Amino acid sequence: APVSSPDLDLCEKSTVTSTSAGTIKVPCCPPKSAKILDFKPPKFSKLRYRPAAQMVDPEYLAKFTKAMELMKALPMDDPRSFMQQANVHCAYCNGAYDNGDPSHELQIHFSWLFFPFHRLYLYFYERILGNLIGDPNFAMPFWNWDAPPGMPIPEIYVDPNSPLYDEKRNVDHQPPKLADLDYSLEENLSKRDQIKSNLSVMYRQVVTNKTATLFLGKPYRAGEKSSPGAGSLEQSPHTDIHKWVGDPRETYKEDMGNFYSAGRDPLFYAHHCNVDRMWNIWRSLPGKKRRDFTDPDWLDSSFLFYDENANLVRAKVRDALDTKTLGYDYQKVNIPWLKNKP
């Protein structure tokens, strides 16, 4: 059976663990709501295009920072506020939801739920931002880490006076340092070698890993053990980039280096836009093997999110398959790794 959306009344504190500092419990549950709406695709007249973060103009940046500022200014208990939105990730990823069965905590990573969950999460986040600035066509930027000009942390995120800034990041990984898409140890490769390594990671994870199970992740159904196995892109570069950005001085590698805190870094959403973009690219590649799952247990798995009007909405994986139905696409930029067999 499909994984059903969590019962918010049974939400509990989240668990955060590190090998050195042990385990802490943190509150991440969302406000409750007596009413749940079923997701309806938005009505729109033109697609919104999410731009590459390294290419945005000052006018766009002003809008985006305004929206983030307003989101950060919402009262803490507003489900659309910056912290509540960050806590969405914490709750879905650090064991806040078990629907009364502690042996089956919901985990949306390390399985076929990874891509659709994050797509929907970003979708609602973007709608909230657009609503706050009165621009329903507003589209969030993506961190274009798969191409050399986009590999450093985008400049718009590193100004300490900007609402896009987060101080809990690795100070050694500031621009112009290039992200390491295959990060475990500090390698300090030359620029040229880092680019080469990154492009071959991209080719391998998106082009070589063809089937839905290899790319999107392994099946995960109601009542099954969580985390059956991540897809190729979730492992690298997705998780590597989280670790590369997180602050090694922080106990739990906050913010980006831990699920519970990752959503507190505005860069998280740009990172995940690019992850989301990769799902679109993978689907568009030739070959019969690159098809989404058709299993109803995947398609009917569902999640809850608050929308731009603070209504609680139940959305299913099947609602997330096509970004054009959701009203958006990505700015076309050069994809240097596609034909580049390493």
Which residues carry out catalysis?
89, 109, 118, 238, 242, 259, 272
The residue from 48, 169, 173, 238 that contacts ligand C2O (CB under 6 A) is 238
Nearest residue to 281 (alpha-carbon basis) of 177, 210, 222? 210
Contacts of 267 (CB under 8 A, 6+ apart): 143, 153, 154, 157, 164, 166, 169, 245, 256
Does 109 bind ligand C2O (CB under 6 A)? Our answer is yes
C-alpha distances (whole Å) from 180 to each of 144, 190, 237, 330 are 13, 11, 8, 23
The size of the chain, in residues, is: 342
Nearest residue to 304 (alpha-carbon basis) of 99, 139, 130, 141? 99
Between 70 and 267, name the residue whose CB sits nearer to ligand C2O. Answer: 267
How is the beta sheet containing 312-316 ordered, strand by strand? 36-38, 312-316, 302-306
Q: Please, which of residues 270-289 interact with ligand C2O by CB under 6 A?
A: 272
Report in angstroms how near the CB of residue 226 gets to ligand C2O at its nearest: 13
# residues contacting ligand C2O (CB under 6 A): 8
The residue from 50, 80, 242, 316 that contacts ligand C2O (CB under 6 A) is 242
Report in angstroms how near the CB of residue 34 gets to ligand C2O at its nearest: 28
Report in angstroms how near the CB of residue 17 gets to ligand C2O at its nearest: 16
Contacts of 254 (CB under 8 A, 6+ apart): 168, 246, 247, 261, 264
Q: What angle do CA 302, 303, 309 make, to 5 degrees?
A: 130
Does 253 bind ligand C2O (CB under 6 A)? Our answer is no
Between 109 and 316, name the residue whose CB sits nearer to ligand C2O. Answer: 109
Report in angstroms how near the CB of residue 261 gets to ligand C2O at its nearest: 11
Between 262 and 312, name the residue whose CB sits nearer to ligand C2O. Answer: 262
Q: Please, which of residues 192-231 interact with ligand C2O by CB under 6 A?
A: none
Does 93 bind ligand C2O (CB under 6 A)? Our answer is yes
Does 119 bind ligand C2O (CB under 6 A)? Our answer is no
Report in angstroms how near the CB of residue 256 gets to ligand C2O at its nearest: 8
Using an 8 Å Cβ cutoff, are 323 and 119 in contact?
yes
Whole-angstrom distance, CA of residue 14 vs CA of residue 92:
9
Report in angstroms how near the CB of residue 286 gets to ligand C2O at its nearest: 28
C-alpha distances (whole Å) from 256 to each of 283, 292, 300 are 27, 28, 30
Q: Sketch the per residue contact string, 37 through 76, with ligand C2O: x for CB under 6 A, - otherwise.
A: ----------------------------------------
Whole-angstrom distance, CA of residue 31 vs CA of residue 10:
12
The residue from 50, 80, 89, 253 that contacts ligand C2O (CB under 6 A) is 89
Dmax of the chain from CA atoms?
56
Amino acid sitting at position 107: Q
Between 132 and 256, name the residue whose CB sits nearer to ligand C2O. Answer: 256
Residues of the shown chain interacting with ligand C2O in the complex, contacts defined by CB under 6 A: 89, 93, 109, 118, 238, 242, 262, 272
